[in-house]
Structure formats: structure tokens, C-alpha cells
Amino acid sequence: MKMDLNLLPLFLAVSKERNFRAAADRMGVTRSAVSQAIRRLEDHLGTALVVRTTRSVQLTEAGARLVSSLEGPLTDIGSALDATGTADEPRGHLRLTATSIAEPFLSGPLLASFVARCPHVTVDVTVTDEEFDIVAHGFDAGVRLGEVIEKDMIAVPVSGEQRERAAAAPAYLAERGAPAHPGELVGHRCIGWRLSPEIAPHRWEFVEGGRPFDVAVEPQITTNDLRLMLRLALAGAGITFAPEDCLQPHFEDGSLVPLLEEFLPPFPGFFLYFPQRRNMAPKLRALIDHVRQWQKARLGG
């Protein structure tokens, strides 16, 4: 018997939401319709796809395999449908993810000018520092540092070269003095960053004589929030380490002082990245073109 392909989007909604009611709301149908769709799909395939409890829904091994097999083809189908009949004007919902330190992308003007240019495109931006497969999670594109982007992705520059900078407030330096070498950081109060509580704080990376090295500072304060790091540094709590774009305004007004400059050379910056697709949706093509024009204008090209 031929399977009803309309069951597949309902199954994928359940796999994303891990909740039948939330999946029903996402798809605009009843909870009963979702439950019946999953039962019909399982009966057709002859295997259980989900395990239901009173609190959650978990994928079985077979369900996880089916999700992995479906994500790519359905994304391509969605892109092809978006492209049909809309070649003249981008439209639709664009899902993006960006790291919290991508200041050139998140500062506002780039996205504001894009939505003004493409009024029929709605944009949803998830800011997270977690690294994951953007295709499997249903995103159209992401923004990350070039060094962490998968090799099978296409990447378009969003910024020029970047630098990590060490900084402290004048009040802290008046009290404790400035380190002359990264190795002296272990004797200072430091404000560090970590991705999550179960992961060690980020090691501060430097270069000396052309050779990279890092320092495992022992931060007195650690957080996953860049804004809190900056506020603490401005309040004189210690030395922090962050992307140059985030610190530069404070260097210019004197509220923070740059440190250890000779040990912090530039490196490749942020990129908009996305998978190669045979039929790219006009909404994503419009964003890519806009980013390229933005970068060209920023460089005075």
C-alpha cells in the first residue's frame, strides 16, 4: 500500500518538539491528528518511531534514522517550492543562527537594511554559542567564526579579520598593575567565558614569536554572557578577554584599557555559511547578496 507522504511533516514536527501538543500547534492541526499520523506511519513501516511517556516523546533508533534521512530532502523540496513563482521578489520565513560574539552581524544595521530591502521576508535569529548541524535543526544559514565552520559548507565573509583583545578598567590597573606577558595573568583577577556549566572556561589564546600558545587562566568570575563580562570589566572586577568589536567602543572612550597587544594578532573573522543546494530559495539568495554588498561597501570596494 502506498504511504501517505503528508504524514512525514507531522512526524518531523514531533521529532523537533518532542511533544504531541506542541507539534500539533506547530502544524495547525489537532493533537489527535498528530497521534493518528504517527500511528499510521509506524504501522506502514512496521516499527516504532517514538516512545511516548506522560512527560515527553523520545525518538527510537529507527525514528532517529528516519529523521536523519528526511531532513535534507525535505529542506531541498521546501527551497524548490519557495523558489517557484517567486523569482522576482524574495519572500518567506528565513531561519538564522549566530554566535553571540558575531557583533558585525548582530549589531543591527546589516539585518535592518536587509528587511527594509526585502519586506516580504520574515527573519528569525537564534543567538547561541552551541555548535550543531544547521541543516538537521532546520536553519537556512548560520554565522560563525570561519575556523569552526564545517568544510562542506559555503561561507561568505560578514566581517574582516578579527582579534581577541584583553582589557581591564583603569581602576583595576591602578590597583593591581598591568601584566607584561600572558603568563602573568595567573596572578590577576580574571573574568572568563564558558559555553555551559559542565565545560571548562575558555582558554585564552596568544601568539609569541610566531608560535601560538594558550593560558588556562583561573577566572574569579565565569559566565556564558558576553554582556556580563563587559559590565564586570567596566566595573573594575578584573581582566577580561573578548572580540575586538565588542571592546573597541570602550577603548575609544577610555573606560577600558587594551592589554598584551603584541601577543594578539588578527585571524579570519565571521562568515555567513549555508549548505550547497541545487535550488536555493530566493530569500536566502537575497541575504547572501546583501551580505556581499554590505561587506564590499564596508571595505570601500
The tens digit of pLDDT for each residue in 107-130 reads 889 999 999 999 999 999 999 888
Could you please report the per-residue DSSP string of 245-300?
A: HHHHHHHHHTSSEEE-GGG---B--EEEEEE--SS--HHHHHHHHHHHHHHHHHTT
Task: Grade residue 201 by pLDDT with cuts at 50, 70 and 90.
Answer: confident
DSSP 200: P
From 26-30, 42-46, 224-228, the region with the lowest mean pLDDT: 26-30
CATH number given to 162-267: 3.40.190.10
Task: Grade residue 29 by pLDDT with cuts at 50, 70 and 90.
Answer: confident
Task: Calculate what percentage of the chain has a pLDDT beyond 90.
Answer: 40
From 51-55, 146-150, 221-225, the region with the lowest mean pLDDT: 51-55
pLDDT of 288: 93
Which ranges in the chain are annotated with CATH 1.10.10.10?
Answer: 6-84
* CA torsion through residues 142, 145, 151, 157, sign: positive
What is the H or E stretch that residue 36 is in?
helix 31-45
Please state, rounded to an integer, the average pLDDT across all residues of the chain. 86
Burial of 81-101, coded b for 16+ CB within 10 Å and e otherwise, reads ebbeeeeeebbbebbbbbbbb
Unique residue bearing C-alpha cell 499520523:
37
The mean per-residue pLDDT over the stretch 203-215 comes to: 92
pLDDT in tens, 231-269: 999 999 999 999 888 899 999 999 999 999 999 988 888
CA–CA distance, 218 with 259 (Å, rounded to integer): 18
CA 210 to chain centre: 30
pLDDT of 279: 66
Residue 165 has pLDDT above 90, yes or no: yes
What is the H or E stretch that residue 98 is in?
strand 92-98
pTM of structure? 0.60
pLDDT of 184: 95
The mean per-residue pLDDT over the stretch 164-182 comes to: 96
CATH number given to 92-161+269-300: 3.40.190.10
pLDDT in tens, 50-108: 887 656 788 888 888 888 888 766 666 665 555 555 555 788 899 999 988 888 888 88
User: Spelled out in words, what is the top-level CATH class assigned to the domain 6-84?
Assistant: mainly alpha
pLDDT in tens, 261-292: 999 988 888 999 998 766 678 899 999 999 99
pLDDT of 94: 92
Residue 298 has pLDDT above 80, yes or no: no
Torsions phi, psi of 268, nearest 5? -55, 145
How many C-alpha atoms does 105 have within 13 Å on its Cβ side? 29
Rg (the chain; Cα; Å): 24
Cell numbers given for 174:
591602578
pLDDT of 284: 92
Task: Calculate what percentage of the chain has a pLDDT beyond 70.
Answer: 90
pLDDT of 300: 66
Largest pairwise CA distance in the chain: 79
pLDDT of 34: 87
The mean per-residue pLDDT over the stretch 23-52 comes to: 86
Tell me the residue length of the chain.
301
Task: Grade residue 182 by pLDDT with cuts at 50, 70 and 90.
Answer: very high
Task: Grade residue 181 by pLDDT with cuts at 50, 70 and 90.
Answer: very high
How many C-alpha atoms does 117 have within 13 Å on its Cβ side? 16
Nearest to 221 by CA among 211, 233, 210, 212: 233
Unique residue bearing C-alpha cell 549555508:
274
Residues 120 and 86 sit within 8 Å (Cβ to Cβ): no
For residue 78, count CB atoms less than 10 angstroms from its CB and return exposed for 0-12, middle for 13-18, buried for 19 or more: middle
> Side chain identity at 89, as an amino acid letter?
E
What is the H or E stretch that residue 208 is in?
strand 204-208
Which ranges in the chain are annotated with CATH 3.40.190.10?
Answer: 92-161+269-300, 162-267
pLDDT of 228: 94
Residue 157 has pLDDT above 80, yes or no: yes
User: Do strands 204-208 and 211-215 pair parallel, antiparallel, or not at all (unpaired)?
Assistant: antiparallel
CA–CA distance, 240 with 192 (Å, rounded to integer): 6
Beta bridge partners of 92: 121
